[in-house]
Chain A
C-alpha cells in the first residue's frame, strides 16, 4: 500500500483512539465482573459481547480490515461460517442425545 505521510499520521491518531477504547473496554469487562450486578447468563453474554467489540476494533483498525480487499473478505466470511458451525455443533450434539 502506498501511503502518504499525512495519511499515516491520520492513521496513528486513530490507532491511539482505538488503544484508549480497548483499555476502557478491558476495564469495563473486569468492572462488570467484579461488581456482580448481573446474574450468570447475562454476565456471560455481556463479557462475550465486550470481547467481540474489542476483537472487532483490533481487526478493523490494527489489521486494516476496514479497508481490505474483496478476496480477503470472502476467505474470512467462509472461515467465520465454518468456525461457528464447529463451535455450535458439538454443543448441539451434547443437547440432542438419545436417552434410554
Chain B
C-alpha cells in the first residue's frame, strides 16, 4: 500500500484520508444545493405571485417518501454498526434494506413524476415546476449514486471485509455519510417545495 492513513487515522490530525475526503466532498455538495436553494429564493422573491406547493404537488407522496428516506438512514447506521461489530451477515441485511428503501423512494418519485406529466405539468410550465423538477431530479440522481455504492458494498464487499474489516467499516461509514447527507437535503426539500 503506497498511501498511508487509509485504514488508521493520522495521529496528529485524527483523520483517515477517506473520511476527510468525503466531508470535503459533502462541503462542495452543500454549496451545490445551496446555489439551487438560492435560485429558489431569488425566483420566489422576484415573483409577483408564487404558487403554493399544493397548486401543483401532492404532499401525500412526499410525506411517505420522507418516512422512507429517514428509515433508510437508520438502516444505514445499523449497517455501519453491524460492520463495526464484525457481523457481516447482519451488515449485509441492513445494507440491502437500505438499498431497497432507496429503490422504494425512487419508485414513489416515479409515481409522482408520472402524475405530474399526466396533468401536463412540465418543467417548462412554470418556474416553480422548473425548480421543483431540477431540485428533486438532482436529489434523485444522488439517491441513485448512493444506492449504487451501497449495493456494491453489500454485494461485493466481502473480499475487502475478510482482508481488513476496519478498512471496510471505514468505507461503510463514508458511504453512510453520503447517504445521510442525501437524506438531510430531502429534509429541507420536503417543506420548501411541498408545504410552503
Interface residues of A (CB under 8 A from B): 1-3, 5, 8, 11-12, 15-16, 18-19, 22-23, 26, 29-30, 33, 43-44, 47-48, 50-51, 54-55, 58-59, 62-64, 69-72, 75-76, 78-80, 82-83, 86-87, 89-91, 93-95
Contact = CB atoms under 8 A, between A and B. Distances in A.
A86 to B, nearest CB: 5
Interface of B: 13-15, 19-20, 23-24, 27, 30-31, 34-35, 37-39, 41-42, 45-46, 59, 63, 66-67, 70-71, 73-74, 76-78, 81, 84-85, 166, 173, 176-177, 180-181, 183-184, 187-188, 190-192, 195-196
Contacts of A94: 42, 45-46
Contacts, number: 124
B84 A3 contact: yes
A51 B192 CA distance: 9
Contacts of A90: 38-39, 41-42
A30 B62 CA distance: 10
B74 A75 contact: no
Contacts of A18: 74
Contacts of B166: 2
Nearest to B181: A63
A23 B64 CA distance: 11
Given A11-B81, A69-B13, A75-B24, 16 more contacts: A1-B173, A15-B74, A18-B74, A26-B66, A29-B191, A43-B196, A55-B184, A63-B180, A69-B14, A71-B15, A72-B15, A79-B31, A80-B30, A86-B31, A86-B35, A94-B45
B27 A19 contact: no
A61 B103 CA distance: 24
B31 A83 contact: yes
Contacts of A82: 31, 34
A2 B81 CA distance: 12
B27 A76 contact: yes
B88 to A, nearest CB: 15
17 contacts: A1-B173, A5-B85, A8-B85, A23-B67, A51-B187, A58-B180, A62-B180, A63-B181, A69-B13, A70-B14, A75-B27, A79-B31, A86-B31, A90-B38, A93-B42, A94-B42, A94-B45
